[in-house]
Amino acid sequence: MLLVALLLLPLAAAVPALVAPRYHPSIAATSAAASGAAFLAALGLARANLRGGVPSIGPEEFLRADGLSAVLALVVSGVACVSLWFGAGYLERVRDHGGLDDARLRRFYVLTNLFVATMLLAVTANNVGVMWVAVEGTTIATAFLIGLEHSKAALEASWKYILIGSIGIALAFVGTVLGYFDFVQRVGEAPHALHWTVLARLSPGLNGDVLRLAFVFILVGYGTKAGLAPMHTWLPDAHSEAPAPISAMMSGSLLVVALYAVARWKVVVDAGVGPGYAGRMLILFGLASLVLAAVLLIRQSSYKRMLAYSSVEHIGLMCLGLGLGPLGTLAALLHMIGHAASKSLAFLASGNLLEAYGSPRIASVRGVLGVLPWTGALFLVAALALLGLPPFGLFVSEVMLVRAGFLAGRPWLMGAVLALLVAIFLSFLGHLHRMLFGIPPADVRPGERRPLGLLPLGFNVAVLLALGLVVPEPLLRLLRLAAGVLRP
Using CB under 8 A as the criterion, which residues of the chain lie in contact with other proteins when the complex forms? 127, 129-130, 132-133, 136-137, 139-140, 143-144, 147, 150, 152-153, 155-160, 162-163, 166-167, 169-171, 173-174, 176-178, 180-182, 184-186, 193-194, 207, 209-210, 213, 236-237, 240-241, 296, 299
Which lies closer to other proteins via its Cβ, residue 147 or residue 325? Answer: 147
Q: Residue 104 CB, nearest distance to other proteins (Å)?
A: 13
Which lies closer to other proteins via its Cβ, residue 139 or residue 397? Answer: 139
Q: Residue 190 CB, nearest distance to other proteins (Å)?
A: 11
Please, are residues 241 and 351 in contact by the beta-carbon 8 Å criterion?
no
Please, are residues 145 and 108 in contact by the beta-carbon 8 Å criterion?
yes
Q: Residue 207 CB, nearest distance to other proteins (Å)?
A: 5
Residue 326's alpha-carbon distances to 102, 165, 268, in angstroms, are 49, 30, 16
Which lies closer to other proteins via its Cβ, residue 35 or residue 240? Answer: 240
Distance CA 264, CA 72 (A): 12
Q: Residue 129 CB, nearest distance to other proteins (Å)?
A: 3
Q: Which string of DSSP letters, residue by residue, matches 45-60? A: HHHHHHTT---EESTT
Which lies closer to other proteins via its Cβ, residue 207 or residue 364? Answer: 207
Q: Residue 368 CB, nearest distance to other proteins (Å)?
A: 24
Q: Residue 487 CB, nearest distance to other proteins (Å)?
A: 27
Which lies closer to other proteins via its Cβ, residue 129 or residue 373? Answer: 129
Neighbours of 20 (CB within 10 A): 15
Which lies closer to other proteins via its Cβ, residue 208 or residue 488? Answer: 208
Among 71, 74, 92, 65, residue whose Cα is nearest residue 36: 74
Distance CA 373, CA 349 (A): 11
Q: Residue 168 CB, nearest distance to other proteins (Å)?
A: 11
Which lies closer to other proteins via its Cβ, residue 120 or residue 385? Answer: 120
Please count the helices (runs of H) and the strands (runs of E) in the chain.
Answer: 20, 2
Helix-, strand-, coil-residue percentages of the chain, each rounded to 5: 80, 0, 20
| DSSP letter assigned to residue 242 | S
Q: Helices marked H in 323-392 — which ranges? A: 325-357, 368-371, 373-386
Please, are residues 254 and 142 in contact by the beta-carbon 8 Å criterion?
yes
Q: Residue 460 CB, nearest distance to other proteins (Å)?
A: 28
Distance CA 265, CA 174 (A): 13
Which lies closer to other proteins via its Cβ, residue 325 or residue 360? Answer: 360
Which lies closer to other proteins via its Cβ, residue 26 or residue 185? Answer: 185
Q: Residue 253 CB, nearest distance to other proteins (Å)?
A: 20
Cα dihedral 145, 247, 316, 35 in deg (nearest 10): -90
Please report how the helices 303-322 and 275-297 are oriented relative to each other, as an axis angle in degrees rounded to 10.
Answer: 160
Please report how the helices 208-226 and 152-186 are oriented relative to each other, as an axis angle in degrees rounded to 10.
Answer: 160
Residue 375's alpha-carbon distances to 27, 353, 357, 371, in angstroms, are 25, 8, 13, 9
Q: Residue 107 CB, nearest distance to other proteins (Å)?
A: 12
Which lies closer to other proteins via its Cβ, residue 101 or residue 209? Answer: 209
